[in-house]
Amino acid sequence: MTITEKILARAAGRDEVRPGEFVTCKLDLVMANDITAPIAIEEFEKMGAGRVFDPERVVLVADHFTPCKDIKSAMQVKLLRDFARAQGLAHFYEAQTGGIEHIILPDKGLVLPGEVVIGADSHTCTYGALGAFATGVGSTDFAAGMALGECWFRVPASLKFIFTGQLNEWVSGKDLILYTIGQIGVDGARYMAMEFAGPVIANLPMAGRFTICNMAIEAGAKNGIIAPDETTMNWVESRARRDFEVFSSDEDAEYAQVYEWDTGNIEPQVAFPHLPENTCGISEVGEIPIDQAVIGACTNGRLEDLRIAAQILEGRQVADGVRCIIIPGSQEIHLAATREGLVETFLEAGCLVSTPTCGPCLGGHMGILAAGERAIATTNRNFVGRMGHPESEVYLSSPAVAAASAVAGKICGPGEL
């Protein structure tokens, strides 16, 4: 079996499962945010559930419209806060205790290898970087999971992506996943598991692995996953709050398809509007001026991402007429970036540094685009109207390309500065 099949088999109490089978699995963790949880709480109460299945394994995070931008968002967060208090939830995060859900859950040791996790947010697949089966669900499925501690799945077939060779300068996990989506398309892994492997993946830090699995959904995948190794274990062991089991794919596991790419042929990538599959190498971009650069989000808001951006921005200035918005992924990351002097570098370069929030990624706040404006962003989606006006444009890239573009006033790679 593949690693995904083994994890689902364990959670279903079975010796084995095969693609296409329907299984009911015990859940190790369920999560929702300030957009999806209010709907789920209403459904939870409609079904007469009364109490959550385990107050230690239900996580609510206010991050999409926080700090609350208006009365409606404040009411949504209050609903979460009141529910968490009434249910005695151990894990409710907002403001000073929190950050972006897909960054703080792994950082706080709430997701571990071998677990089955559902989240009422499509980018829950991020946690596959830890060797967990993690997938997004709708608010009603989350409500049922919150009540029962179970969820049904159709076992996905698996695709395997093997990366070999040596990474070129400034090429990161973000570039690898953008390249992958460009190759297979936004429906190329529809309801399948995307398993990432090979020597390049083995040498990637956890930040790059989280980025890759975060965007598996952008290829239509049910989940993205990387088998735990020494890097994973070093990261997990200081954070784990409970026992866990590690899985890996059998050598004779069956895959729907196997892709193998030499990363020596991959340069920094940019995804053009209005789909993440519209990718090309930085050398093919041409002259594209920008109005805004966003560095952060659940995809690239980690300390390692901010370090790369600061390395490029240090001693330079953001171009006239360009807004460069830096969004740390959590309060802890913001504090660490401040202590390292990264925030000072950003401010001296003319950047705006935000409190942790999803903010502009979903067109919420903290950087909405007007008609005709163009942004380059380290976020994960560039659909029509995603970051604001339907007549605006969003280009996706790594922190290195976004930072360089902010300085140049046009899309470019660090090598052009």
pLDDT digit string (tens) for 384-398?
889 899 999 999 999
Residues 347-387 have pLDDT tens digits of 999 999 999 998 888 888 889 999 999 999 999 999 888 98
Residue 124 has pLDDT above 90, yes or no: yes
User: Per-residue confidence at 304, pLDDT binned at 50, 70, 90?
Assistant: very high
- Supply φ then ψ for residue 242, to 5 degrees: -155, 165
Asked, as a colleague might, if the bond just before 19 is cis with ω within 30 of 0, I would say no
Give the DSSP H or E segment for 335. helix 331-339
**Residue 309, Cβ density class (10 Å: 0-12 exposed, 13-18 middle, ≥19 buried):** buried
CA 162 to chain CA centroid, Å, is 21
* Residues recorded for the chain: 417
pLDDT digits (tens, 9 = 90+) for 207-262: 999 999 999 999 999 999 999 999 999 999 999 989 999 999 999 999 999 999 99
**Which residues of the chain are in CATH 3.30.499.10 domains?**
3-260, 269-411
**Percentage of the chain modeled with pLDDT above 70:** 100
Return the CATH architecture of domain 269-411. 2-Layer Sandwich (3.30)
Return the pLDDT at 104. 94
pTM over cut 0.75: yes
Q: Which CATH number fits domain 3-260: 3.40.190.10, 3.30.499.10, 1.10.287.3510, 3.30.1310.10?
A: 3.30.499.10
In whole numbers, what is the pLDDT of the chain averaged over residues?
96
pLDDT 10s digits, 152-180: 999 999 999 999 999 999 999 999 999 99
Cis peptide preceding 91, ω within 30 of 0: no
The CA-based angle 189-282-396, given to 5 degrees, is 50
Q: CB–CB of 311/337 below 8 Å?
A: no
As a whole number of angstroms, the distance between CA 373 and CA 389 comes to 8
